[in-house]
Chains A and B, each alone.
Chain A
């Protein structure tokens, strides 16, 4: 194991908490960048999922450090809501694709001011 990431303890190998945060930040940034840079609605969707899970990761990591449960419960909620959201979102994307034969969000600009 790389020593500056994890260190040995009585319970076995332990990862330093700030690395979880770093990973979450990286995941979130990748997600945000994907959201801003990609045109395909499906890919944007996946990016959003990535951002959500980055947040989930911070919740769990911080929670385990504090030894509380609220954050972990929140994660369950986020996952449930995300699952529901994916269902609806995918349905919308499928419907849009059938109608417009495209999933590019730049072409879906009907509400342009």
Chain B
């Protein structure tokens, strides 16, 4: 039913508009209930609408709302196919849980209503992004997501660091969007349309319609956009800073949904990437390097949320590896499971921070296991899931990606090795975080009495813990439900395949082994030897994220500022303003001179008039030939 699809987007939009005008008046907790209800209803509608895909009786359809930009042939059209259904379910499902969590988390905030307004705006934008049937709608959603992210990161804008973080996220995303937009223009120039269906059909009918070079250019530009939104090298720097926002925002935007937009986009345009082998390699390499790079930084972090932030970047790297080698199902699969366990980790971290009265430094934690058991045990599941321990969700999705990359052979084996090392590092830094936070002796500040969070916060944790535990079962090698589910969306793409069962077994055992090794090393270091938070030397380098921010600051931001200063204080103030002021000054001086004529003596004016009249008369007489 088409109206249901329309309502999926319209409900959060209505919530946003309603709260925009009445949110502050409704206040706490009404605004939270309304916002949660709209998103929850959207999820229910999406689930109802997706039933046909589960039964295999439908392959996707488009719902046209209205003509948008006729000169470009762009219409406001939604695409309801398995991929967008999957994304919609994740966005609204995880989104609804995080909305509910926020009801408790944002308790007492002076801008409570505003927060839920922004959350609803974000969900609306994200749904536009995943439901758009052409690059136009996708791009609108893409930009709106960036806007809501900016609003939510700098939600506590009284803090200068939060305001700066929001600005940084926006600017870095703009860099990516710039590449993305050029990519879209190239697509339009090449195909004369921005419709997914039109573009993909054209390629399907005749792959020679587009040269490998053009396809490579387009896909690399799309990758620039995806790298910005999905926080990949070299545009990842905004995500760790985005932790300045309230924790539910970190969970919603920077773990579960917004950052997956790039992965979704690459998966959606998989057919274009298929035509450009170079781009596939670039995407997979960027993903692998990002995964490793971010994982090493995560090891050295002190702030519990920053550990998770770098972990998110690292896990997004896996997804890029997956979609890069055209293991589209694998990439989307990891996107889904990651949404579960990373949202859970962030919400758990939020619960910890809540319990510690706002403390985020792991140095001041420890021994929280007994104090906040629900948080501990739910995060326990997420910890094992992200570490890739059998049979939790992370194991299935991460291993699918690694196996596909390995099966690609050649240079991709190197990427597989990087992925494997990263898996070990992931297990290590997540264990470090868990041990430092929950185990050992308390290192709390005086006056802090940890207490478990209210049910509105713990219930979403439990729900997400359940999903993190069993979510991987939707796509096992024996019963690839997700693969069948997504088949209609990827039917035109020749996807990469998993290796033979024997190889799969070996790879799985190796990667679980690496994960367990990572946990054991962390156990020996932080539990047996009770190592405290490290400082100095290399740890400081890691803590500062290899000083990438400083490097960017010196090589890009500082020259940019210098150029802006030059333009503002020389080119603008001296040249442009100079020309304007000079002209003004000239007129002023001329006026001053001419105003001397205005003596204020009426009779002198009379003389002037008379002289003029006489002069004209004389001239007339002379010209008329009287003399």
Partner-B contacts on A (CB < 8 A): 32, 35-37, 39, 44, 105-106, 108-113
Task: Give the residue of B598, B601, B606 whose beta carbon is less than 8 angstroms from that of A35.
Answer: B606
User: A28 to chain B: closest CB distance in Å?
Assistant: 11
Which residues in window 185-233 of B have CB below 8 A to A? none
Residue of A nearest to B613 (CB): A32
Q: A113 to B603, Cβ gap below 8 A?
A: no
User: A43 to chain B: closest CB distance in Å?
Assistant: 11
Residues in A whose Cβ lies below 8 Å from that of B603: 35-37, 39, 44, 105-106
Residue of A nearest to B607 (CB): A36
Interface flags for B568-608 (1: CB within 8 Å of A; 0: not) read 00000000000000000000000000111111111100110
CB-defined A-B contacts under 8 Å, sample of 9: A32-B606, A32-B610, A105-B602, A106-B601, A112-B600, A113-B597, A113-B598, A113-B599, A113-B600
Q: B600 to A111, Cβ gap below 8 A?
A: yes
CA–CA, A36 and B608, complex, Å? 10
Q: Which of A35, A109, A110, A113 has the most CB of B within 10 A?
A: A113
CA–CA, A32 and B596, complex, Å? 24
Residue of B nearest to A48 (CB): B606
Q: What are the 3 closest A-B residue pairs judged by CB atoms, nearest first?
A: A109-B600, A113-B595, A112-B600
User: A106 to chain B: closest CB distance in Å?
Assistant: 6
User: B609 to chain A: closest CB distance in Å?
Assistant: 9
Residues in A whose Cβ lies below 8 Å from that of B601: 105-106, 109
Residues in B whose Cβ lies below 8 Å from that of A32: 606, 610
Q: A113 to B596, Cβ gap below 8 A?
A: yes
CA–CA, A35 and B597, complex, Å? 19
Residue of B nearest to A38 (CB): B603
Task: Give the residue of A36, A106, A112, A113 whose beta carbon is less than 8 angstroms from that of B606.
Answer: A36
Q: Which of B598, B600, B601, B607 has the most CB of A within 10 A?
A: B600
Interface size on B, residues (CB 8 A): 13
User: B589 to chain A: closest CB distance in Å?
Assistant: 13
CA–CA, A108 and B602, complex, Å? 8
CA–CA, A36 and B597, complex, Å? 17
CA–CA, A47 and B595, complex, Å? 28
Residue of A nearest to B603 (CB): A36
Task: Give the residue of A37, A110, A112 whose beta carbon is less than 8 angstroms from that of B599.
Answer: A112
Q: B598 to A111, Cβ gap below 8 A?
A: yes
Residues in A whose Cβ lies below 8 Å from that of B600: 108-113
Q: B602 to A44, Cβ gap below 8 A?
A: yes
CA–CA, A37 and B600, complex, Å? 15
Residue of A nearest to B604 (CB): A36
Residue of A nearest to B595 (CB): A113
Residues in B whose Cβ lies below 8 Å from that of A106: 601-603
CA–CA, A39 and B601, complex, Å? 10
Q: B610 to A112, Cβ gap below 8 A?
A: no
Residue of A nearest to B598 (CB): A113
Residues in A whose Cβ lies below 8 Å from that of B594: 113
Residues in B whose Cβ lies below 8 Å from that of A109: 599-601
Residues in A whose Cβ lies below 8 Å from that of B596: 113
User: B149 to chain A: closest CB distance in Å?
Assistant: 60
CA–CA, A108 and B607, complex, Å? 17
Residue of A nearest to B594 (CB): A113
User: A89 to chain B: closest CB distance in Å?
Assistant: 13
Residues in B whose Cβ lies below 8 Å from that of A112: 598-600
User: A109 to chain B: closest CB distance in Å?
Assistant: 3
Q: Which of B598, B602, B603, B610 has the most CB of A within 10 A?
A: B602
Residues in B whose Cβ lies below 8 Å from that of A39: 603
Residues in A whose Cβ lies below 8 Å from that of B602: 44, 105-106, 108
Residues in A whose Cβ lies below 8 Å from that of B598: 111-113
Residues in A whose Cβ lies below 8 Å from that of B610: 32, 36
User: A42 to chain B: closest CB distance in Å?
Assistant: 13
Residue of A nearest to B602 (CB): A105
User: A34 to chain B: closest CB distance in Å?
Assistant: 10
17 additional A-B residue pairs with CB within 8 Å, beyond A35-B606, A106-B602, A112-B598: A32-B610, A35-B603, A36-B603, A36-B606, A44-B602, A105-B601, A105-B602, A105-B603, A106-B601, A108-B602, A109-B600, A112-B599, A112-B600, A113-B594, A113-B598, A113-B599, A113-B600
CA–CA, A36 and B606, complex, Å? 6
User: A103 to chain B: closest CB distance in Å?
Assistant: 12
CA–CA, A36 and B599, complex, Å? 14
CA–CA, A110 and B600, complex, Å? 7
CA–CA, A109 and B599, complex, Å? 7
CA–CA, A39 and B594, complex, Å? 25
CA–CA, A35 and B605, complex, Å? 10
User: B264 to chain A: closest CB distance in Å?
Assistant: 71
Residues in B whose Cβ lies below 8 Å from that of A36: 603, 606-607, 610
Q: Which of A35, A37, A110 has the most CB of B within 10 A?
A: A35
Residues in B whose Cβ lies below 8 Å from that of A37: 603
Residues in B whose Cβ lies below 8 Å from that of A111: 598, 600
Which residues in window 214-263 of B have CB below 8 A to A? none
Interface flags for B435-456 (1: CB within 8 Å of A; 0: not) read 0000000000000000000000
Residues in A whose Cβ lies below 8 Å from that of B597: 113
CA–CA, A109 and B595, complex, Å? 13
Residues in B whose Cβ lies below 8 Å from that of A113: 594-600
User: A83 to chain B: closest CB distance in Å?
Assistant: 22
CA–CA, A105 and B601, complex, Å? 7
CA–CA, A111 and B606, complex, Å? 15
Residues in A whose Cβ lies below 8 Å from that of B607: 36
Residue of B nearest to A47 (CB): B606
CA–CA, A103 and B610, complex, Å? 23
Interface flags for B272-290 (1: CB within 8 Å of A; 0: not) read 0000000000000000000
Residue of A nearest to B591 (CB): A113
User: A52 to chain B: closest CB distance in Å?
Assistant: 14
User: B625 to chain A: closest CB distance in Å?
Assistant: 21
Residue of A nearest to B592 (CB): A113
CA–CA, A109 and B605, complex, Å? 12
